[in-house]
Amino acid sequence: MNYQPFSDKDLLFLKKLLGDDRVSTGASNLEIHSHDESFHSGYYPDVVVWPLTTEEVSTIVAYANQHLIPVTPWGVGTSLEGNPLCVYGGILVDFDRMDKIFAIRAEDFQVDVQAGVKYQDMNKILSRHGLFFAPDPGANATIGGMIGNNASGVRTVKYGGTRDNVAKLTVVLANGEVIRPGNLAQKSSSGYDLVHLIIGSEGTLGIVTEASLRLAGIPERFSAAVATFPTIRQATQAVYDIMGSGLGPAALELLDVSTVKVINTEANAGLEEDPTLFMEFTGTSDVALGEDVKLAETICKENGNTGFQSGVGREARNRLWENRHKAYEYIKRNNPGLDFMILDTAVPLSRYTEMVTFAVETIQKYGIKGYAFGHAGDGNLHLVLAGDFQDEDFCRKRDDANFEIVSQAISMGGTATGEHGIGIGKKKFMPMEHGKSLELMKQIKKMMDPNGILNPGKMVDPS
């Protein structure tokens, strides 16, 4: 695309619209917004703006479209694939100040929010009403960022991802027009499902400014358990058997030995250093929960588990999940001086054991230091590759291993990304995964964003 250079005239327009305090070309602000949590090279925006309303976003986008200036939405920069980076410069729209909760409709199990609301902060407020927003990516991401990536997390196995928990959106299109797809009913058969088209599109089809979210009641009772196994194959087979038994855990997480060791080192967790499953069951009856845990223990024993700890108390359970959420952070802290690539494949549950085994054997073949963990209950594997990204020989091995592992996942009927999104790093796998469907995606992009101004460089090429 032939984008126009950002000019002093453009800067003057933005300052007139928003005021000097909500527009910045300062070096520190450009630097902060030039990189996310991924290893991808930094891309600097020309300007950072902080809108307060949908109307302001609409005006910014309409102007950018008219003058062929790229526009990229930004939450808090916790993404892992370069999703909010300004590959072609232009205007970065930071939603930090669009953080209002408009209404909590507890009787409908719904909440209306602006896109800049952070989900952990929101859940603290919702807890006063006995409610919570279930998708849980770990980091305190914004709702807009979660919608852009279709974020999920440890509770996906029970509650689904972001896509399953959004009722209605407010979206600014590339020409500045505002649409509000969806409705507040529990179900609908009306029209094309534009809500789900926007969710996971990473701001390439429209910029989400507001959302009505579906909520769940905070479970009255829970029971957490930790199971260890001699091999990762036995642990993953137990995952398949637990899910096949109809138990319906609220969370079911896998950690390999390397990840457990890092958690012990960084958090003094005292875990047995074997392949490990973290499990949680929820319900209204202690008796029913006890039966669920008992059946899970039986299944684990049938798969040769070496230890099963149940009845984990609330404080210990909270530490358990905190350590799981911080696993990637712990890995980085435990390997100073190294760089990291995190793979995010997902496969049908029946192929999960095979997928994990293949991934681990592949990095061993290339001699790469790696850590395997993930949302085992829904077939999602995170594999962290660690090394010196300035070493050309290592980078070739890293890229070859990445290609083999992701290709294997796709060949199993899976995906290159279960929850982190396409961003910059996964674009090369789009033709392999989607085939001729990718051409339709390009047509949709061209129709909705003919000038290619919305988060260009992601999903499909702007050309």
Q: How far is CA 286 from CA 168, 219, 222, 247, in A?
A: 36, 12, 8, 15
Give me the amino acid identity at 364.
Answer: Q
Calpha distance 250→283 (Å, rounded) = 10
Checking if the pLDDT of 139 tops 90, the result is no
How do residues 396-420 score in pLDDT, each as one tens digit? 999 999 999 999 999 999 999 999 9
pLDDT of residue 462: 56
pLDDT at residue 283, rounded to an integer: 83
Q: 76-80, 113-117, 172-176: which has the minimum mean pLDDT?
A: 76-80
Domains present along the chain, CATH in parentheses: 8-96 (3.30.43.10), 101-217 (3.30.465.10), 221-327 (3.30.70.2190), 335-434 (3.30.70.2740)
Kindly state the percentage of the chain with pLDDT values over 70: 100
Q: What average pLDDT does the chain have?
A: 95
311: its two tokens: 């009845």
Asked if pLDDT for residue 463 goes beyond 60, the answer is: no
Confidence at residue 447, expressed as pLDDT on a 0 to 100 scale:
96
Residue type, 392: E
Tokens of 83: 């999703």
The residues pairing with 23 across neighbouring beta strands, listed in sequence order, are 49
Q: What is the pLDDT of residue 353?
A: 95
pLDDT at 153 over 70: yes
pLDDT in tens, 310-342: 877 778 888 889 999 999 999 999 999 999 999
User: How far lies 260's CA from each of 326, 361, 371, 383, 384, in Å?
Assistant: 12, 18, 9, 14, 14
**Which pLDDT value is given to residue 25?**
98
**What local confidence, expressed as pLDDT, does residue 314 receive?**
79
Backbone dihedral angles phi then psi of residue 287, each to the nearest 5 degrees: -65, -50
Alpha carbon of residue 158 to chain centroid: 17
pLDDT digits (tens, 9 = 90+) for 56-66: 999 999 999 99
Average pLDDT over residues 5-12: 98
- Quick one: three-class SS letters along the chain? CCCCCCCHHHHHHHHHHHCHHHEECCHHHHHHCCCCCCCCCCCCCCEEECCCCHHHHHHHHHHHHHCCCCEEEECCCCCCCCCCCCCCCCEEEECCCCCCEEEEEHHHCEEEEECCCEHHHHHHHHHHHCEECCCCCCCCCEHHHHHHHCCCCCCHHHHCCHHHHEEEEEEECCCCCEECCECCCCCCCCCCCHHHHHCCCCCCCCEEEEEEEECEECCCEEEEEEEECCCHHHHHHHHHHHHHCCCCCCEEEEECHHHHHHHHHHHCCCCCCCCEEEEEEEECCHHHHHHHHHHHHHHHHHCCCCEEEEEECHHHHHHHHHHHHCHHHHHHHHCCCCEEEEEEEECCHHHHHHHHHHHHHHHHHHCCEEEEEECHHHCEEEEEEEECCCCHHHHHHHHHHHHHHHHHHHHCCCECECCCCCCCCCHHHHHHHHCCHHHHHHHHHHHHCCCCCECCCCCCCCC
Rounded Cα distance between 458 and 90, Å, is 15
9/2 Cα distance (integer angstroms):
18
Q: How many CB atoms lie under 10 A from the CB of residue 87?
A: 18
The structure tokens listed for 124 are 């603290």
Exposed, middle or buried: residue 81 (CB in 10 Å: 0-12, 13-18, 19+)?
buried
* Residue 370 in this model has a pLDDT that exceeds 60: yes
